[in-house]
Chain A
Amino acid sequence: MIERTLQIENKLGLHVRPAAKFVELASQFESDVTLIKDNLEVNGKSIMGVLMLEAEFGTEIILRVEGEDETLSAEALSDFLKGKIDEEFI
């Protein structure tokens, strides 16, 4: 199991489009993905789940990945969250 604490760095937060992209990316891997904000835990492969987090700019979230390809998955997902989401989705 890999757990990483990340901060949402784009201005608009993890809004609808990037959330869909995140889910798409998470679903490419076998591993289970969980996102945790405060005491809310959601499935990272579910769009509605990720949207429910309402992870806005500056929010700290925990990314938990568990499964056979967890290293690859965790790497890809944290790269995505750290990347330039703002420029990609305007």
Chain B
Amino acid sequence: MSEGKPQHEFITVEALFTENKKRLKLSLLTKKVGFDRKITEKEIHRPGLALAGFTDLFTFHRVQVCGNTENQYLKNLTKQQRVESLKRVFHFEIPCFIVTSEEEIPPEIVEQADAGHVSVFRTPFATTKLVQLLGEYLDEKFAPQVFLHGSMVDVYGIGVLIGGRSGIGKSEVALDLIARGHQMIADDIVTVSRRAGGALIAQVNDQLRYNMEIRGLGIIDIQSMFGIRGIRKQKRLEVQVELVDWDSTEKYERLGLKEMTCKILDEAITLVRLPIYPGKNISMIVEVIALNQRLKSFGYHAAIEFEKQMNRRMTHGKSEIKPLEPFFE
């Protein structure tokens, strides 16, 4: 269940426009044409070469960003050449054109776009800035996503997904963590998407918000109970803690030298299998797992350091090793 599907198969030009009008300060230059055309990729294309006549590998189905270079090129052509060049480009089924140049643009762009049913937008942002902002938006829209069963909590800045079989007590552990001052992202069903650079982002569900079901109690609302300090909209997922029923025949990790990982949307994250039994303080252990993860990200691996120290003592003899400096006098 972790192969993932994109949140959207496509977005329409209309959606792109309405959702980014403010953020990208877009204005529509053409008539309202081609608004139902579909954008199916997160990549963006600069149509420079296509305008110059090379259309063999023209990725016309992407959003086209027309910057200063394209604008200057078109301006340097004669009117006849310009019309020809633009006609050739707008003949393709392009979703939309975004002009970034603040300078005046040749009127033929709008004329030919109208004729070819391609909407042209203008933004005051520079090309690099626009590509970055638009890229973020499209990356989020087309990010592959999965729904995972579990509770997602931010513990000391580490995003922890608490998993395990139905009824094992995931929500109870999450609730305990929230009461200890950590933040809930989602309970029961966690939406996880993979963003650029391989970051796994877990998000709150619009449908469930910060409601949680506790067996024997019913539905409780974390947001009204704990306020802003108990919730978070999204968090990078870094550790999965799998609660398992204690089984004396099973072998559990004793040293922590072997790093277990699991794959979510093809990204490996740390996995800790935690056997539970009555009287064991699971939320405290989850806190320690998060702190240990932070130590590792700072370059300190307790199990490895301990192993090194032990090996030194055993190979050099105890006398050659200085006793530990006392921390407290």
Interface residues of A (CB under 8 A from B): 39-43, 45-49, 51-52, 54
Which parts of B183-216 form the interface with A (CB within 8 Å)? 187-189, 205, 207-208, 211-213
Q: Which one, B147, B149, B213, contacts A47 given CB within 8 A?
A: B213
CA–CA, A52 and B188, complex, Å: 10
| Residues from chain B with Cβ under 8 Å of A47 in the complex | 213, 219
Instruction: State the total of A-B contacts with C-beta under 8 angstroms.
Output: 34
B207 and A49 contacting across the interface, CB-CB below 8 Å:
no
Given contacts A42-B189, A54-B207, 20 further A-B contacts (CB under 8 A): A41-B147, A42-B147, A43-B149, A43-B166, A46-B166, A46-B188, A46-B189, A46-B213, A47-B213, A47-B219, A48-B187, A48-B189, A48-B208, A48-B212, A49-B189, A51-B208, A52-B188, A52-B189, A52-B205, A52-B207
| Residues from chain B with Cβ under 8 Å of A48 in the complex | 187-189, 208, 211-213
B188 and A49 contacting across the interface, CB-CB below 8 Å:
yes
> How large, as a class, is the contact surface on chain B?
10 to 19
B225 interfacial by beta-carbon distance below 8 Å: no
Interface residues of B (CB under 8 A from A): 1, 5, 147, 149, 166, 187-189, 205, 207-208, 211-213, 219
A39 and B187 contacting across the interface, CB-CB below 8 Å:
no
| Residues from chain A with Cβ under 8 Å of B205 in the complex | 52
| Residues from chain A with Cβ under 8 Å of B5 in the complex | 39
CA–CA, A12 and B276, complex, Å: 41
Provide 18 A-B residue pairs closer than 8 Å at the C-beta atoms, listed in order of the A residue.
Answer: A40-B147, A41-B147, A42-B147, A42-B189, A45-B166, A46-B188, A46-B189, A47-B213, A48-B187, A48-B188, A48-B189, A49-B149, A49-B188, A51-B207, A51-B208, A52-B189, A52-B207, A54-B207
Q: Chain B's nearest CB lies how many Å from the CB of A82?
A: 24
Q: Chain A's nearest CB lies how many Å from the CB of B149?
A: 6
CA–CA, A51 and B208, complex, Å: 8
CA–CA, A40 and B188, complex, Å: 14
CA–CA, A41 and B149, complex, Å: 10
**Shortest Cβ distance from A44 into B: residue:** B166
Q: Chain A's nearest CB lies how many Å from the CB of B204?
A: 12
Q: Chain B's nearest CB lies how many Å from the CB of A54?
A: 6
Q: Chain A's nearest CB lies how many Å from the CB of B210?
A: 11
Given contacts A46-B166, A47-B213, A49-B189, contact A41 B1 (CB under 8 A): yes
| Residues from chain B with Cβ under 8 Å of A40 in the complex | 147
A52 and B149 contacting across the interface, CB-CB below 8 Å:
no
| Residues from chain B with Cβ under 8 Å of A45 in the complex | 166
